[in-house]
Each structure stands twice: as structure tokens, then as C-alpha cells.
């Protein structure tokens, strides 16, 4: 059978137009028939490529290749749910006091590294609570020295961090993110970030100095809610000059901060999308601002709980997978509900190693 190629087609066409005009029409008929047969042959060949014969009278479409397993590039490990603050909108509350033995936690982190993890973020609860920050410090050092992860970060309320911790572990930490929702101390107390005579804002400034002194990239996380949505934080954020200012819209999670089994009632903190957008517009001059609406937040994080189970938030609650310690990362991550496209869209992949940030310490 002929196969249609540019050379064959040109030859056919040339042979036709070399003939006298009287015989031109007689030559066009077989040419059109030849073209029709050739295209039909190619179409049939493509169709057969998508069919697999199962028997004399039975065919089925060829099965598509299975999707590639999700790579846990960036993982948030909430190894404790305990906290010394009582933020009214908290979406990871103190429902258990469990913390994995240190060696088991290290084993899980090694499994994640072998599965492709590049960044680990330690959070809680308050991660500096267990063993006064020593448990956390040992995990940070393990991830940077033994696993050689490009990025190790922490999210903390900052109230329990001491300079000695920086002296012992600061060199192994890339980013420290401190939660600060307001620069008005009365608002912080209303939210639940008050702790006796300690001033949350003053402590934030002290931590900023320590990050500079011990060469740790400084970041701020703020949850925008009913009590701070009208605040203008532009000047304070610029003065602190964090590498990133993550601005979250207050999010409801069933069983955590809303619903029958919840330890918090966050409904009174919730703001609408338009209110959130107005807050962002007010702070558009802050170049380090990274906004995250409810839609961006919900499925774009890989979250491990205290048992090293991935938490699926697609249905507005946290449904756990089996632990990676029992079934491995590849099996457990199938139930994570992770939306990698949204992870990239919200800027989840960025320059996250302090060696690459080129900061002016």
C-alpha cells in the first residue's frame, strides 16, 4: 500500500499537470481516489493503535498508563497538637497529646526523603513545646545534616523560643516563620495570642534580630479574620522586612474549628472573599506579600499529623490516610487529596534554601 509523503504527493501532482489539458480531467479522478484511499489507510492505522484484540469478536480500548505517583516535594509535619496559645480560629487543635518517639519520626522523615521530599516544615500545635524545643532541634539537625534536605523550616508562635536554641540549632534551619496576626496587642489578646505580661509584638521584633544574628531567613504568617481585617500593617511589615509574608484567609475545618467535635468555634472569625481582597489591596505595596485564599489553601498542602498520616481536606475536614510508617509514602499519599497544580499556582515552590536566598544578614 502507498504511504502518503510530501515527495509522493508532489510527484503525483507533477505527473498530472504535465499532461495535455484534454486529458487533465481524466487524470484528476484517479488522483482524488488515491488521496482518499491513503487518508483512509492512515486513519485506520491510528484507530488500530488504540485497540487491543481480546478475541475474534471482542475488542477493548487500550488502557492508559497509570498516573505517576505524587512526589512529596514539600511536606508540613505537625508532630504535636499541643499549644500554649488559644487562637480562636486554629485549624489543628489539641485533640491528642501524642508525639512520636524521636527515632520513629526520623524513620518517617527518611522515607519521605527517599520518596523525593526537598522541603520539610515543622509545625504544630506549638513545635517548641515538646522537650523545650530539643525534640524539634534534633529533627531540624537530622534533616539538614543526615538527610541533606535543601530546606528546613519551622512555623511557631515564637513565645517559647530562646536564644540558646539558635546557638545550638540555628545553622541547620533555613526559615523561621512566626505567626503574627496583628500589631495591636489588644487584637492579639482577642484572637487568643495573649500570654500574660508577654507582648507578642515585642517578642516578634526580638526574634527578627536573632534570625539576622544567626543567619536564619525570617518569615511572617498572618491569618486575616474578623478582628484584624481592617488593620493596615504595611509600615510594620516593611520595617521587619521578612523574606515572605504569608497572608491567609481564615479557614473553617470541620472537627477542628467548627462542627460538633471541634475544640474551637471559628465561625465568628470568618471573613468573606471581598473583605479579604480589600485587605490585600490595602497592602499591595508590600512586595513580600503572598496571599492565600480559602480555595488556594484547602488542597494545596501535604499535611502529616502526629502519627505521620496524610490529612485530606478536600471535604472540608481532615480525613487521615494510613501512616507512612505502616504502608510507606507512595501508598499513603494516594489518600492525601493533594492538588499539585494548586500548590504551584499559590507559589508553593519558591527559593526556600537560605544558601540561595542571598540575604543581607
Active-site pick, 87, 250, 258, 313: 87
Q: Is 211 a catalytic residue?
A: no
The pLDDT value given to residue 60: 45
- Domain annotation covers residue 354: no
Alpha carbon distance 212, 216 (integer Å) = 6
Strands 151-156 and 175-179: parallel
Model pLDDT for residues 240-290, shown as the tens digit of each residue: 999 999 999 999 999 999 998 999 999 999 999 999 999 999 999 999 999
Active-site pick, 90, 143, 211, 258: 90
Model pLDDT for residues 287-311, shown as the tens digit of each residue: 999 999 988 877 889 999 999 999 9
Task: Tell me which residue has cell 472569625.
Answer: 269
The pLDDT value given to residue 61: 46
Largest CA distance in the chain: 106
> Which of 345, 340, 305, 343 minimizes the C-alpha distance to 325?
305
The pLDDT value given to residue 286: 98
- Domain annotation covers residue 355: no
Mean pLDDT of 33-44: 52
Torsion, Cα of 219, 222, 228, 230 (10° steps): 70
- Domain annotation covers residue 26: no
CB count within 10 Å of CB 90 equals 24
- Domain annotation covers residue 51: no
Judge whether 82 and 262 are in contact, CB under 8 Å: no
Mean pLDDT of 125-134: 98
- Domain annotation covers residue 316: yes
| Res. 8 pLDDT band, cuts 50 70 90 | low
Report pTM: 0.80
219 has a pLDDT exceeding 60? yes
36-45, 190-199, 223-232, 336-345 — which one is most confidently predicted on average?
223-232
Q: Is 90 a catalytic residue?
A: yes
- Domain annotation covers residue 13: no
Find all residues with CB under 8 Å of 55, minimum gap 6, and list them. Answer: none
- Domain annotation covers residue 33: no
Q: Give residue 288's domain range.
A: 72-344
Mean pLDDT of the chain: 86
The pLDDT value given to residue 11: 55
Domain count, the chain: 1
pLDDT above 70 covers what percent of the chain?
81
- Domain annotation covers residue 110: yes
> Which of 271, 337, 260 minimizes the C-alpha distance to 298?
337
The domain that contains 95 carries what CATH number? 3.20.20.70
Amino acid at each position: 500500500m502507498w504511504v502518503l509523503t510530501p515527495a509522493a504527493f508532489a510527484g503525483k501532482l507533477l505527473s498530472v499537470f504535465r499532461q495535455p489539458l484534454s486529458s487533465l480531467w481524466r487524470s484528476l479522478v484517479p488522483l482524488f481516489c488515491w488521496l482518499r484511499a491513503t487518508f483512509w489507510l492512515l486513519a485506520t492505522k491510528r484507530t488500530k493503535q488504540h485497540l487491543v484484540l481480546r478475541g475474534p469478536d471482542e475488542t477493548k480500548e487500550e488502557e492508559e498508563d497509570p498516573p505517576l505517583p505524587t512526589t512529596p516535594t514539600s511536606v508540613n509535619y505537625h508532630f504535636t497538637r499541643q499549644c500554649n496559645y488559644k487562637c480562636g480560629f486554629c485549624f489543628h487543635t489539641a485533640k491528642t497529646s501524642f508525639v512520636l518517639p524521636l527515632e520513629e519520626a526520623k524513620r518517617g522523615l527518611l522515607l519521605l526523603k527517599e520518596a523525593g521530599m526537598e522541603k520539610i516544615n515543622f509545625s504544630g500545635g506549638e513545635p517548641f513545646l515538646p522537650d523545650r524545643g530539643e525534640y524539634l532541634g534534633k529533627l531540624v539537625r537530622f534533616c539538614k545534616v543526615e538527610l541533606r534536605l535543601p530546606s528546613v523550616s519551622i512555623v511557631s508562635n515564637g513565645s517559647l523560643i530562646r536564644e540558646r536554641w539558635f546557638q545550638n540549632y540555628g545553622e541547620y534551619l533555613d526559615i523561621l516563620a512566626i505567626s503574627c496576626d496583628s500589631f495591636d496587642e489588644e487584637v492579639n489578646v482577642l484572637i487568643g495570642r495573649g500570654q500574660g505580661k508577654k507582648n507578642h509584638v515585642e517578642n516578634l521584633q526580638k526574634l527578627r534580630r536573632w534570625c539576622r544574628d544567626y543567619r536564619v531567613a525570617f518569615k511572617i504568617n498572618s491569618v486575616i479574620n474578623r478582628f484584624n481585617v481592617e488593620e493596615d500593617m504595611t509600615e510594620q511589615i516593611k520595617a521587619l522586612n521578612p523574606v515572605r509574608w504569608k497572608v491567609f484567609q481564615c479557614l473553617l475545618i470541620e472537627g477542628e474549628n467548627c462542627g460538633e467535635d471541634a475544640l474551637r468555634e471559628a465561625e465568628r472569625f470568618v471573613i468573606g472573599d471581598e473583605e479579604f481582597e480589600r485587605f490585600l489591596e490595602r497592602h499591595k505595596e508590600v512586595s513580600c506579600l503572598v496571599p492565600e485564599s480559602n480555595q488556594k489553601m484547602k488542597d494545596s498542602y501535604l499535611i502529616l499529623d502526629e502519627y505521620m498520616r496524610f490529612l485530606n481536606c478536600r471535604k472540608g475536614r481532615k480525613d487521615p490516610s494510613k501512616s507512612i510508617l505502616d504502608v510507606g509514602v507512595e501508598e499513603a499519599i494516594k489518600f492525601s487529596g493533594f492538588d499539585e497544580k494548586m500548590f504551584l499556582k499559590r507559589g508553593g515552590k519558591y527559593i526556600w534554601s537560605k544558601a540561595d536566598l542571598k540575604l543581607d544578614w
